[in-house]
Structures are given as C-alpha cells and as structure tokens.
Amino acid sequence: DPGLGFGKTFDQNYQLLSGLHSFADLAAGLLAGPSRKAFTGEFSGLPPDERQFSTAGAVAIAVLAGADVVRVHDVAEMRQVTDIVDRYREIHERHTG
C-alpha cells in the first residue's frame, strides 16, 4: 500500500494514483486504499460517507493502474466497478495484444 491519503496533498494523491503502475511489479502485490479518502471528496466537498461515486472512480483508476487489491468500505458496489474494469482489460488486451 503506497499510502493514498496519508500525509499527502490532493495533487500528491493524484500523482500517486497515476503512478501506481510503477509498484505493480512488486512480488508482494499491490494494495490501494482510496475509499472515502479526502482527495476523493476534493471536488464535491461531500462528507466521507457520501463519496461512493468518487471512490468508484478512484478504484477504477487504481485497478487499471495495476492494483491487485483495493481496500473499500462499500464492498458490493466496488465489486461491480472492479468487474467492469477487469472485463474491459480482458477485451482490450485481446484486441491490442
């Protein structure tokens, strides 16, 4: 876990999220925990328990960037997100090699 949300500015969190792929080759696997973090509410100003949609966006980005595991509060809902992303990657890789 590279520490999304811990002691970082909003921009630093987005930089870390966009660079998750650089951690993907670690033998231990990559865990990302964007769920309800302050940076997911940066634009909406919503309180943590109302950040499901922004968390879903961050989860999708994390999985696309190579996260093997995502720590979330809304497990069933975020499972739908990861299922869509996994299917997208499967089709994308099939068509792009």
Residues 6+ apart with CB under 8 A from 19: 65
pLDDT at 96 over 70: yes
Ramachandran bin of 87, using left for φ above 0, alpha for ψ from -120 to 50, beta for the remaining angles: alpha
**32-61 tens-digit pLDDT:** 999 999 999 999 999 999 999 999 999 999
- What does the mean pLDDT of the chain come to? 92
Q: Mean pLDDT, to the nearest integer, of 57-83?
A: 96
d(CA 56, CA 81): 6
